[in-house]
């Protein structure tokens, strides 16, 4: 009886996860407040980026790209370790959860670095440039 009950619970959990993952994502209030680096680069003339701003953005992008590369290698390494831990017939729960914490820490650092970059971009833009970029984002979303 117990194996059948566990099977039913597992199917219910998997089904619930599939239903949740099929729902379209809602608006991103944090993402809406910032400007992706690509948007700034693609519309630098339209928003009137100065040479000083351009130089600062290039330096930011360069240093952040280096950091992203390091973090991607770290994340991949931690993911490979996690995959190795779950492949056997018997899985050590504590080891797997400890390794998962390392994976999540690497993912957290990637997201933190991304957020830090877009904050620095926004802080270097004038209010007028930000307003122009918001208008461009709205126009692109309308297409």
CATH code of the domain covering residue 94: 1.20.120.1490
pTM as predicted:
0.75
Name the residue range of residue 92's domain: 26-142
Q: How far is CA 93 from the centre of its chain?
A: 27
Structural domain contains residue 107 = yes
What are the pLDDT tens digits along the chain (143 aa)?
455 545 555 555 555 555 555 666 777 888 889 999 999 999 999 999 999 999 999 999 999 999 999 999 999 999 999 999 999 899 999 999 999 999 999 999 999 999 999 999 999 999 999 999 999 999 988 87
In a domain, 103, yes or no: yes
Q: Is residue 86 part of a domain?
A: yes
Judge whether 100 lies within some domain: yes
Q: Distances in Å between the alpha carbon of 38 and those of 11, 35, 41, 44, 105?
A: 42, 8, 5, 10, 26
How many separate domains does the chain show? 1
101 domain-assigned: yes
Task: Report the distance separating Cα 117 and Cα 123, nearest Å.
Answer: 10
Q: Is 34 within the bounds of a domain?
A: yes
């Amino acid at each position: 009886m117990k194996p059948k009950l566990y099977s039913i619970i597992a199917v219910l959990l998997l089904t619930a996860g599939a239903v949740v993952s099929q729902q379209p994502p809602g608006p991103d209030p944090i993402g809406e407040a910032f400007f992706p680096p690509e948007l700034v680069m693609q519309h630098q003339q339209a928003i009137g980026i100065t040479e000083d701003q351009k130089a600062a953005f290039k330096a930011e992008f360069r240093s952040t790209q280096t950091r992203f590369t390091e973090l991607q290698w770290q994340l991949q390494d931690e993911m490979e370790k996690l995959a190795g831990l779950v492949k056997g017939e018997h899985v050590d729960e504590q080891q797997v959860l400890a390794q998962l914490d390392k994976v999540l820490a690497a993912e957290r650092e990637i997201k933190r670095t991304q957020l830090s970059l877009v904050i620095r971009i926004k802080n270097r833009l004038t209010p007028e440039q930000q307003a122009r970029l918001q208008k461009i984002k709205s126009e692109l979303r309308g297409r």
